[in-house]
A and B are shown apart, each in its own frame.
Chain A
Amino acid sequence: MTALHPSAPIASSDGDLLRQTAEGSRSAFSQLVERHRGAVWALVRRLTPNDALAEEALQEAFIAAFRGAAGWSGSGSVRSWLLTLARHATYRHVRRRAGEPSSFEPLDELGAAAGWGQPVPVDELLARLRDQELVRRAMSRLDPDDCDVLVLRDLLGHTGPESAAALGISLNAMKSRLHRSRLRLIAALREEGFDA
């Protein structure tokens, strides 16, 4: 198969740009930032309560990427690596809250908090989900472990095995954590709605 536009410039891959960054290319790093700035922002803004903290996390993530460019393993996508740096940067700013419920609450209690067994109109819950600010507040109430798995599976769309590998846990453990995290988020959304 031939190229449709043979004379068009070939865009450098993310990996190439990162290698050029490691060799000192400001231009290469600028291209990387331009490509992934939106994705990093989407992530950090959903995990932080305000723009100021999100901006701090964004800057720290890209600075860490610049400083760590030479150490990039070359496996996996550069975007995933950047988003991992962004998650870590975010959690340095958003302190893990003391007294969070453990991951081992009985499932029926989590379900009940999410509306299992209660006649809450789904339309009301869906309307809350369309409110980005409300979702952001609900996410900020979750434990970082819960945020991590939601970000990997439902925001970034990683597969189950990819998410499990990123979290360093088994596939079954990831599935269990994902389910509990979704139930906790739904419960937090219900509470946010009532608090509003």
Chain B
Amino acid sequence: MPEQVVIAGLGCGDVLGHLSEYVDGTVSADLRSSIEEHLRGCDWCARFGGEFSAVVTELRSTLKAPSEPAPDISARLANRLDELFDE
């Protein structure tokens, strides 16, 4: 990768280290401001930060997609539970 730069007191590695907190909105106001200033001045971090944010958003959507077990799986579970109650 290109040489890392320091902008707003943060190096590229610092920004990488805070990306999850930044995307989750859990950084302090001061740190958020510094990260955003760095992103405005560093194309490299802006690009990876944008990708990271998009990936986390998509990941949440994919993981949360509704899912139900197939009917035969539900039926077998019911049978197992029936056996338990008969014990």
Q: Using CB atoms and an 8 Å cutoff, list the residues of chain A in contact with chain B.
A: 26, 29-30, 33, 37-38, 41-42, 45-46, 51, 54-55, 58-59, 62-63, 66-67, 107-108, 111-112, 114-118, 120, 122, 125-126, 129-130, 132, 135, 150-151, 153-155, 157, 160, 175, 178-179, 182, 185-186
B56, A154: Cβ atoms under 8 Å?
A: yes
Partner of A179, one of B19, B48, B60, B77: B19
Asked if A130 and B73 sit within 8 Å, CB to CB, the answer is no
Contact indicator A157/B1 (Cβ below 8 Å): no
Bound complex: CA A36 to CA B40 (Å) = 45
Known: A42-B67, A125-B51. A178 touches B20 (CB 8 A): yes
> Measured between C-beta atoms, what is the minimum distance from B75 to chain A in Å?
11
Q: List B residues at the A interface (Cβ < 8 Å).
A: 1-2, 13, 16-17, 19-21, 24, 26, 44, 48, 50-52, 54-56, 58-60, 62-70, 73-74, 76-78, 80-81, 84-85
Classify the secondary structure of A's interface with B: helix
8 A/B residue pairs, CB under 8 Å, sorted by A: A33-B77, A38-B69, A41-B69, A120-B51, A122-B55, A129-B55, A150-B63, A155-B64
Known: A130-B62, A132-B65. A30 touches B44 (CB 8 A): no
The answer, among A108, A114, A126, A179, for a CB contact under 8 Å with B58, is A126
With A58-B73, A150-B63 known, 16 other A-B pairs at CB within 8 A are: A26-B85, A37-B77, A45-B69, A55-B73, A55-B77, A58-B69, A66-B84, A111-B48, A115-B48, A116-B16, A129-B55, A130-B58, A135-B59, A153-B24, A160-B24, A179-B17
Give the interface SS of chain B, mostly helix, strand, loop or mixed: helix
Measured in the bound complex, the distance between the Cα atoms of B85 and A51 in whole Å is 25
A132 CA to B67 CA in the complex, in Å?
11
